[in-house]
Amino acid sequence: MAENKSKTVLNRGSVQKIRELGLLGFIVILSVFIQCRNPSFLTAENLNDLITNTAILSLLSVGMMMVIITRGIDLSIGATLALSGMITAMTVRSHPALSPFLALLLGTTIGLLCGIVIGFLVAKTSILPIIATLGMMNVFRGMTFLISGGRWVSAHQMSSSFKHIATGSIFGVNHLILIAIITYLIFYYFINHTRTGRKIYAVGSNPQSARISGINVDRTLWLVYAIMGALTGLSGVLWVSKFASAQSNTAMGYEMNVIAACVVGGVSIAGGTGKVSGLLSGVLLLGILNNALPLLNVSPFWQDAIQGGIILLAVIVGALVRRNTDKKNLIGREE
């Protein structure tokens, strides 16, 4: 049946690509529109600001993507971020000499621990992710309040080297952007070119058969949440360093932005699907929204509605594009 090949084919590559193109097209149009409204949008400086402000979101999104691919979700990242940020900041306050790298390491480790706890709950005690993370969200947030005793850590209490983490740059590229780029390269490779990476997809795509075919589902899940935690911890340090202030209510509700970035980026809540390239466009769209709405100088009272509307529009466009490609794939069978 040689000539039958390429019929009945839903080539995963093409679909995903076309879907992302749809989203990218959407972004381009949006950008053009914004540019018309405010010429300072597509300036080097603004783009730099845009990406810098989106860096943290993008870090969290990679982790969240992997979590969602395994049919999970993590509502606790806002709280984890605050906790690791606060503890790191307090350490920096008491040991101003602490080297930035150690600070980053410390925050990441705290996040990792939080992630491991959640991973344990999800993988070992069959609690559903949404519940486990909802519960731990409260716990971590509460701990942050308690540890900080309601006090903030302010700019003047942080060593300049620590603040330099977020403000400094190499060859004119801000550290945050560099960190984000490196992370993406690493995880792109990890997800697409390593066994463990593929196992994440397998587990999300069909947990039962993953078990039967001898994949260690629990360990994979655990790993995913641990990674999410570590990335969140890292983001916590970057956040605190960027804004030169650690509050106990830092990043409250930020998880929703992250989830939104993922779903706009074509990561399916049903699990099993989602690509780094797609995710990037999702993150980009949210970044643009956060950056441009103020620029557009629309009434503050319209911002939420516009943001919600655009997100909805974006996901719907994505869905429609995907449907079309599916159809095309089958029309091959006619004739």
Ligand X SMILES: Nc1ncnc2c1ncn2[C@@H]1O[C@H](COP(=O)(O)OP(=O)(O)OP(=O)(O)O)[C@@H](O)[C@H]1O
Query: From the list ligand X, another protein, none, which binds 295 (C-beta under 5 to 8 Å, kind-based)?
Result: another protein
**Which residues from 201-260 bind another protein, rule CB under 8 A?**
201-202, 204-206, 208-215, 239, 243-245, 247-250, 252, 256, 259-260
Q: What is the DSSP letter of 253?
A: T
Q: Taking CB under 8 A as the rule, does residue 42 contact another protein?
A: no
Q: Taking CB under 8 A as the rule, does residue 333 contact another protein?
A: yes
Binder among 8, 99, 173, 186 for another protein (CB under 8 A): 8
- Exposed, middle or buried, 162 (CB in 10 Å: 0-12/13-18/19+)? buried
Q: Taking CB under 8 A as the rule, does residue 49 contact another protein?
A: yes
How distant, in Å, are the alpha carbons of 81, 177, 216 from that of 328? 44, 39, 37
Cα 132 to Cα 334: distance, rounded to the nearest angstrom? 49
State which residue, 43 or 209, has the beta carbon closest to ligand X.
209
Return the range that interacts with another protein (CB under 8 A); candidates 25-33, 35-43, 177-185, 219-227: 35-43
Cα 83 to Cα 77: distance, rounded to the nearest angstrom? 10
Shortest distance in whole angstroms from residue 161 CB to ligand X: 57
State which residue, 130 or 330, has the beta carbon closest to ligand X.
330
∠ Cα 320 322 328 (to 5°): 105
Q: Taking CB under 6 A as the rule, does residue 11 contact ligand X?
A: no
Could you give the string, one character per residue 88-117, with x where binding to another protein holds by CB under 8 A and - elsewhere?
A: ------------------------------
Cα 162 to Cα 217: distance, rounded to the nearest angstrom? 39
Q: Taking CB under 8 A as the rule, does residue 324 contact another protein?
A: no
Nearest to 287 by CA among 76, 83, 69, 41: 41
Q: Taking CB under 6 A as the rule, does residue 8 contact ligand X?
A: yes
Query: From the list ligand X, another protein, none, which binds 172 (C-beta under 5 to 8 Å, kind-based)?
Result: none
Q: Taking CB under 6 A as the rule, does residue 99 contact ligand X?
A: no
Q: Beta-carbon neighbour count of residue 327 at 10 Å?
A: 9
Q: Taking CB under 6 A as the rule, does residue 14 contact ligand X?
A: no
Q: Taking CB under 8 A as the rule, does residue 332 contact another protein?
A: yes
Q: What is the DSSP string of 37-81?
A: H-TTTTSHHHHHHHHHHHHHHHHHHHHHHHHHHTT---S-HHHHH
Q: Which positions touch ligand X (CB under 6 A)?
A: 8, 330
